Every structure is written in structure tokens, then in C-alpha cells.
Amino acid sequence: MPVGLLLQGRTDERSPETNGDALRHLDALFHPRSIAVVGASDDPNRIGGVPLSLMIERGYSGRLIPVNPKYERVQGLPAFPSLAAAGGPIDIAIVAVPAAALAATLEDAIAAGVKALVVFSSGFAEVDAAGRDMQQQVTRRAREAGIRLLGPNCLGMMSFRHNVFATFSPAPRAGANKVGNIAIVSQSGAFGAFAFSLARSRDLGMSYWMTTGNESDVEFADCVQWLAADRDTQVILGYMEGCRDGDKLKRALEAARAAGKRVVITKVGRTELGSAAAASHTAALTGEDAVYDALFRQYGVWRANTVEELFTVGYAASVCPLPASSRTGVLTVSGGVGVLMADEASTAGLDLAEMPLAAQAALLREIPFAGPRNPVDITGQTVTVPGLLERTLASMLGHGDEQAGYDMVVFFPAAALLGASVAQRIVDDLIAAHTRHPDKPLVVTGLMQPAYREVFRKAGVAVIDDPSAAMRALGALAFFADAAKRPPPLGATAVVPSAISLAGKSYTEHEALQQLAAAGVPVVQSRLAATAAEAAQAAQRIGFPVVVKLCSPDITHKSEVGGVRLNLQDAGAVEAAFNDILTKARQAAPHARIDGVLVAPMVKGGVECILGVHTDPVFGPVVMFGLGGILVEAMRDVTFRLAPIDAAEARSMIDSIRARRVLDGMRGAPPSDVDALAESIARLSHFAASNKAGLQSVDINPFLVLPYGQGAIALDAVLVTEPAHTPSTSTPRGTP
């Protein structure tokens, strides 16, 4: 029984790059009109018996073709000795034979014109090098023949609307699930089976379920890309352990975003401890976790850190419309729980704008001890004052002078929906309100009789048990709405590569600053001086005071060899500094190439920041921003985005650091020129994106942000390139 539960073998060669090829035959794979099972078994509990028995039982309407040379009939259906012998078109062949037999099955499939294989078999790259070789050979042959391959070592896929059960998981047998708009895509079979069972136990309606196993051909990203175009799917719940092809994943996520799908992904390996466990358990190619955070943020994916969050957000996204804004009304019968929800709203970034004063006054006339602002606390009078709930919902959802016009409303009725007498009236009022405002998410949280859940769901009202979880789900809906309105991330469209590669060259600080200046990043105007006299002359042109710094491509950390002198006031001081710096440098590094010194103006004031780029092996160049200084380093208060980005996205980076207030001007300091800072980050990101082939990293430290209107300026830069003739992103981290 194959149970390589983690993707221990997702190490195959890259799939074809173009979209057309990547999607080839995925329609046949995920929406098959005829399904063969190679290794078909009469026993409904065996790996070759489960899919047949499930599809017969649930009424799959296409042709089912058992293949097994030993039998004439399997599970009551006529069986064939081979795929070729079955005749007629075969969309997919499920392969439930030992690994060693896969190659022969593939030849049979080619002969029979099969479009895609779903390979349950294990014993490939997840086991050892021989298995990896075998997997690579089969995959190559399948590609040549134009056959797609899901797996190997996967649990298969299910399509609930069409009763396709191309899986050997026993989970579906435990009971039928609801058909709906949620697709589940999992790189792990075990997680996939768990997720399926959990979705069923929560009564979520599902469209597709896909597990990708070793991903020798069809990857997680392919599944997302295909689901992006699927009309029956509104929500994609993903479980990821790693990614091999960052560009493909970006394309898929952008396709989903552009199509209005809501994508929620749990990506494991969040903390350092978690990453250690991942590295020991899997050869999946995990990028840095912060890079995934950036990717998901930019591509409109909600990252769920727990299974609970994955399903709660997925449920809300499946039931609710997307709100016009994050303006949220909280309606409660308990002031205390209202406060609890307000607490969470703040964390979730929701805007709890106050009710209009007239509406507050009107409510207080009815209920003197109500809380009229927002949260709106209508107290236990909810049900005793006729029409109170209806009127309050109207003034929260309606648009008028005395109405709040919230774009989302959440209602906490405590335990009132348990009581038989009053519950139905509350339910009716809520559904009526939602019918009048069908474009606004309405969520009920708290306890209720189970029957009401279904009533609410049918009416498009979401039910989320925990009040805090309900607020987080609304935060996710606001995030999706915001993402849907944004233009595509710049990285999703093609970036024009620079004509000249940086690879194989080494850059002094002076040269690095020149490169950045050419890319539009403001840099300090420094002059290179080869002699003491040249240095003094340069200083005179620049104007005192000046800074003098060693210039050598071989000495990166110049301050450690005494190579930096600040605040020099006259020509004599500059000449002395030149001589001293060169003496010390020659002592410290006798064989280093020394070009002389850089003379630069002494720039004072402003806020020290750090800008950087590092090239992720999977996702390419990533731009970084943080404030400078030791404390920020200690607190890791930095933020990342995949390059390139525009100034608006750079602005969101600036706004996301914890020490943001420093740029507003603290303790009497003037506000900083964040416009110039954002523009510089954006330009650096474009430089990185267009030079990604040759670039390893850039550090601009310090990058000085001056008071508003005065701009910003790079004072120092280190540019590290790839060795010559090595493609930059071809060696994914973690490859054995």
C-alpha cells in the first residue's frame, strides 16, 4: 500500500513553460468521460478496487474500463487484458500496479491513445535514487507522447459533480458529501484525505479534490490554473509543502485572482522549528517562508496558519459575497462579546466606523441602556421589543442619512437561537435583511439549533461558531475584495530582461552605486580618487565636510579594516585619511586590488533605512525594506515583496513595518520623504527583476530617507553577482 504521505520525491525536471502545453489534457484529466483502471480488483477495499466500486456505487455516467489480464469481469463490468484491447477513447487510466509495471502500462496507454494517467503506485523518487531515475524516465516518455501524469505516489482526484472517484482513499466511503463550489488541492495525500473528511463533517459543498503526490508532471500550480477557469469552483483550498516552479505558481495564482476565485492556502514550515521538521521529512523545495508570505500577499492568497482557519475562511468565502469595503457593523446582544469582537476586528484590519448619531439617538430612545455606537449592543431586548432587530439591521445595512451603510455585518445573538420560541423570528429578520442586501456579507456567530445552519446557508448567510473566528473570516473577505480590485501584480506579466547580464562581474561600491543610479535609485554623488591629491581635489569640488572610503572590489567590509573616515573638514584631513586608509588596507589584505578611495559628501539627518534584494531560487528576486540600525536587526522588522513592484506596493511595504512611526517623525523630528522612499524601493525592484539572470543580492545600507520634500539617498551599496555562465535560478534549494 503506497503511503509516501509526504512529497519525498518532488524532484523531477521542469514541466513545459508555456501555458498551452501546461494545460494540455488537463480537461481530460479532471473531467474525464471514460476511465480505465489498470490493476482493477474485485475487492472493493483494495487499491485497484476502491475507485471502481465508488464510481459504480455513486453512478459515474461515463465509461468505466477495468483492465486486468486475469479476469473477464471485474466488479460486474467487462474487463480487458490491456488498455489497447479495450478499444475506443480513454480519457484517463488509473494506475494501480506496482512501480516496476508503470513503464509497460505507459506504453500500453500510448498505444490506446489515453490522455492522462493517475498513478497511485509508489516506490519512485520518494524512496531512492533508482526510484527517481525510473520516475524521470517514465515522465519523459509520457511528455514525448503527450500524456499527462498525476502522481506518482498520489491519492488521486475526485470530481463530485460528475461522480469521478479516481482515488483509493477509503474516506469517501464513510458517507456522501455535499456538492458545491469549494475545491481542495493538496500536495499531501494524508492531508487531502483529512481535509476531505473535515469538509464533509462541516457539510461544506465541494467541487473537486486533487492530490498531487510526487508531482512528476502535474503540479499544485497546474491544478490551481485549471480550477481558475472552472465555473463550478469559487474557492480553492490549498495545502502546500513546497514549490519547484515559482513562475508557474505565480501564473496560476494570478489566473485564479483575475477570475475572481478566492484562494486560501496552508503552507507548512511557518516557523524555524516547523521548517526544521519539514527539511527532515521531505525533499520538497521550500523557499524562505517570508517569500511565501510576500507571494501570497501580492497574489491575493489568504494564508491560513491552521486547519481551522483554512476551513473557516474557505467556508465564509464559499457562502458570502465579497464586500465593497472593510466597513463592518458588529451587532450583539452582549456588550462584552461585542468588545471581544471589536478587539479581533482591530487585529483583522476591519473598520468599525461608528453608527450615525441620529441612528444612535433613535436606538437609545428605544433601549436606554443599549450600546449604540459600534459594536451595536441591542441587549436582551432583541426579541422582546417588536421589530427592534429588523430596524437595527436596516439602519446598519441601509444607505441613507441616518443609516450606517456598513458593507458587512456580523451578529452575535448569544444563545437566543437555541430557544424555540424566539429563534424563528430572529432567523426570519436576518434572512430578510440579507435578501434586501444580497451583496453584503452577513455572518451569524454563536450557538444555534443545527437546523438553522442549513437555513442560513441556503439564504447566503454564513454561520461561524466562534465570534473571534467570525471577525477573522470577515477580515479575509475584505482581503479578497481588495485583491480582486487590484491590477495584476507586475511580476505576473513578463519582465523585460536587461540586455547586459551582471553575471560573472564584480562591482566595487562605486560601480554598484553607478548601476543603481542608472536604474533610477538616488545615490550619493561620490568621486573615485586614486591618489591623495586627487582625493583632496575631489573633496574641494564636493564641498566639506566629506566622507572618505576605501574602494576595492576585494574588500567588502571596509570599516573592519579601518577603511571609512567620516566628517573630514579640510583638504589636509582628506589627504591624511587617504594615506592612512591605504596603508591599513594593504596591511590587512596584501593581495587585494585597491582602486583608491571614494570621496563623498557627508550627508546628515534623515532616517537610516536598509533596502535589499535577494534572489530566491524558486521565486526569483525578492526586494526587502527595513529601518536601519542594530535594534531593527535584532527585531527583524523587515518586509519583503517579489520583484518587481510599483510605488503603491512599495508604500504598503513601508506601512507594514512595526516601527513605521519613526518615518512620521518622532520626538520633534520632521516627517520623512516616504514618497521618495517608495519610489526608490520600486526602482530597485525593477532593477532586480530585469537583471535577475545575473544577480545574487543587493544591499543598500544605509539608505537615508530625508525630511519630506528632500528625497532619499543611497550612501553605500554592495552588489553580489552570480558566477559567469551559470543560469541563476536553476538550482532550487533542497535538491539532493
Residues 528-587 that bind its own copies (CB under 8 A): none
- Measured from the CB of residue 180, what is the shortest distance to its own copies in angstroms? 19
Q: Which of residues 400-419 bind its own copies (CB under 8 A)?
A: 414-415, 418-419
- Distance separating alpha carbons of residues 315 and 198, to the nearest angstrom: 12
- Please say whether the beta carbons of 296 and 252 come within 8 A: no
- Distance separating alpha carbons of residues 713 and 707, to the nearest angstrom: 11
CA–CA distances in Å: residue 394 to residues 134, 356, 380, 429: 65, 13, 19, 10
- Measured from the CB of residue 693, what is the shortest distance to its own copies in angstroms? 33
Size of the site for its own copies (CB under 8 A): 94
Q: Residue 189: how many CA atoms within 13 Å on its side-chain side?
A: 29
Would you say 32 or 702 has its CB closer to its own copies? 702
- Please say whether the beta carbons of 654 and 682 come within 8 A: no
Per-residue string for binding with its own copies, 296-335, x by CB under 8 A? ---------xxxx------------------------xxx
Q: Which of residues 427-466 bind its own copies (CB under 8 A)?
A: 446-447, 465-466
> Binding segment for its own copies among 54-62, 279-287, 427-435, 499-507 (CB under 8 A)?
279-287
- Distance separating alpha carbons of residues 208 and 210, to the nearest angstrom: 7
- Measured from the CB of residue 343, what is the shortest distance to its own copies in angstroms? 4
655 makes contact with its own copies (CB under 8 A):
no
Would you say 339 or 603 has its CB closer to its own copies? 339
Q: Which of residues 372-401 bind its own copies (CB under 8 A)?
A: 373-375, 377, 379-381, 384
> Binding segment for its own copies among 16-24, 245-253, 364-372, 609-617 (CB under 8 A)?
364-372
- Distance separating alpha carbons of residues 423 and 427, to the nearest angstrom: 6
352 makes contact with its own copies (CB under 8 A):
yes
194 makes contact with its own copies (CB under 8 A):
yes
Q: Which of residues 150-189 bind its own copies (CB under 8 A)?
A: 170-171, 174, 187-188
- Measured from the CB of residue 572, what is the shortest distance to its own copies in angstroms? 23
Which contacts of 446-452 are long-range, i.e. CB under 8 A and separated by 24 or more positions?
446/412, 446/413, 446/414, 446/415, 446/416, 446/417, 447/414, 447/415, 447/417, 447/418, 448/413, 448/417, 448/418, 448/423, 449/417, 449/418, 449/420, 449/423, 452/417, 452/423, 452/427
- Measured from the CB of residue 643, what is the shortest distance to its own copies in angstroms? 27
3-state secondary structure of 697: strand
Would you say 389 or 492 has its CB closer to its own copies? 389
496 makes contact with its own copies (CB under 8 A):
no
- Measured from the CB of residue 7, what is the shortest distance to its own copies in angstroms? 9
- Distance separating alpha carbons of residues 318 and 513, to the nearest angstrom: 50
- Please say whether the beta carbons of 517 and 600 come within 8 A: no
CA–CA distances in Å: residue 615 to residues 278, 296, 333, 510, 618: 22, 17, 52, 22, 9
Q: Which of residues 600-629 bind its own copies (CB under 8 A)?
A: 627, 629
Neighbour-count burial of 39, counting CB atoms closer than 10 A to its CB (0-12 exposed, 13-18 middle, 19+ buried): buried
- Distance separating alpha carbons of residues 59 and 81, to the nearest angstrom: 24
- Measured from the CB of residue 500, what is the shortest distance to its own copies in angstroms? 36
633 makes contact with its own copies (CB under 8 A):
yes
724 makes contact with its own copies (CB under 8 A):
no
Would you say 566 or 666 has its CB closer to its own copies? 666
> Binding segment for its own copies among 144-152, 196-204, 401-409, 712-720 (CB under 8 A)?
196-204
> Binding segment for its own copies among 107-115, 314-322, 386-394, 467-475 (CB under 8 A)?
467-475
Query: Can you tell me which of 345, 538, 684, 714 binds its own copies, judged by CB under 8 A?
Result: 345
Residue 171 main-chain phi, psi, to 5 deg: -55, -45
In residues, how long is the chain? 736
- Measured from the CB of residue 305, what is the shortest distance to its own copies in angstroms? 7
Element (H, E) at 608: strand 607-616
498 makes contact with its own copies (CB under 8 A):
no
Q: In sequence order, which residues have a C-beta less than 8 Å from that of residue 272 and are 6 or more positions away?
A: none
Q: In sequence order, which residues have a C-beta less than 8 Å from that of residue 652 and are 6 or more positions away?
A: none
Would you say 470 or 538 has its CB closer to its own copies? 470
Q: Which of residues 681-710 bind its own copies (CB under 8 A)?
A: none
Q: Which of residues 82-101 bind its own copies (CB under 8 A)?
A: none
Query: Can you tell me which of 136, 325, 403, 468 binds its own copies, judged by CB under 8 A?
Result: 468
- Please say whether the beta carbons of 427 and 456 come within 8 A: yes
Q: Respond yes or no on whether the N-terminal peptide bond of residue 69 is cis (omega within 30° of 0).
A: no
736 makes contact with its own copies (CB under 8 A):
no
Would you say 32 or 49 has its CB closer to its own copies? 49
290 makes contact with its own copies (CB under 8 A):
no
270 makes contact with its own copies (CB under 8 A):
yes
Given the DSSP bridges, would you call strands 408-412 and 328-332 parallel, antiparallel or unpaired? parallel
- Measured from the CB of residue 98, what is the shortest distance to its own copies in angstroms? 16
Q: Which amino acid is at 708?
A: Y
CA–CA distances in Å: residue 501 to residues 43, 161, 310, 311: 61, 51, 42, 46
Query: Can you tell me which of 137, 271, 567, 726 binds its own copies, judged by CB under 8 A?
Result: 271
> Binding segment for its own copies among 17-25, 139-147, 346-354, 597-605 (CB under 8 A)?
346-354
Query: Can you tell me which of 39, 238, 338, 405 binds its own copies, judged by CB under 8 A?
Result: 338
- Measured from the CB of residue 275, what is the shortest distance to its own copies in angstroms? 8
CA–CA distances in Å: residue 67 to residues 87, 109, 366, 617, 658: 12, 11, 74, 43, 61
Per-residue string for binding with its own copies, 114-153, x by CB under 8 A? ------------xx--------------------------
- Please say whether the beta carbons of 548 and 577 come within 8 A: yes
DSSP of 537-588, one letter per residue? HHHHHH-SSEEEEEE-TT-S-GGGGT-EEEEE-SHHHHHHHHHHHHHHHHHH
- Please say whether the beta carbons of 167 and 157 come within 8 A: yes
Query: Can you tell me which of 100, 130, 176, 276 binds its own copies, judged by CB under 8 A?
Result: 276
Would you say 4 or 617 has its CB closer to its own copies? 4
> Binding segment for its own copies among 4-12, 133-141, 388-396, 696-704 (CB under 8 A)?
4-12
User: Smallest Cα–Cα separation from 226: which of 489, 19, 36?
Assistant: 19
- Measured from the CB of residue 464, what is the shortest distance to its own copies in angstroms? 11
Query: Can you tell me which of 637, 652, 697, 711 binds its own copies, judged by CB under 8 A?
Result: 637
Q: Which of residues 200-259 bind its own copies (CB under 8 A)?
A: 201, 239, 241
- Measured from the CB of residue 205, what is the shortest distance to its own copies in angstroms? 18
- Distance separating alpha carbons of residues 630 and 648, to the nearest angstrom: 28
- Measured from the CB of residue 384, what is the shortest distance to its own copies in angstroms? 6
Which residues are registered as beta bridge partners of 184? Answer: 209, 237
- Measured from the CB of residue 118, what is the shortest distance to its own copies in angstroms? 18
Query: Can you tell me which of 114, 158, 342, 674 binds its own copies, judged by CB under 8 A?
Result: 342
Query: Can you tell me which of 32, 300, 467, 620 binds its own copies, judged by CB under 8 A?
Result: 467
Q: In sequence order, which residues have a C-beta less than 8 Å from that of residue 601 and are 6 or more positions away?
A: 524, 525, 542, 543, 545, 546, 547
Would you say 34 or 41 has its CB closer to its own copies? 41
- Please say whether the beta carbons of 56 and 62 come within 8 A: no
User: Smallest Cα–Cα separation from 177: which of 193, 155, 156, 191?
Assistant: 193
105 makes contact with its own copies (CB under 8 A):
no
Would you say 217 or 377 has its CB closer to its own copies? 377
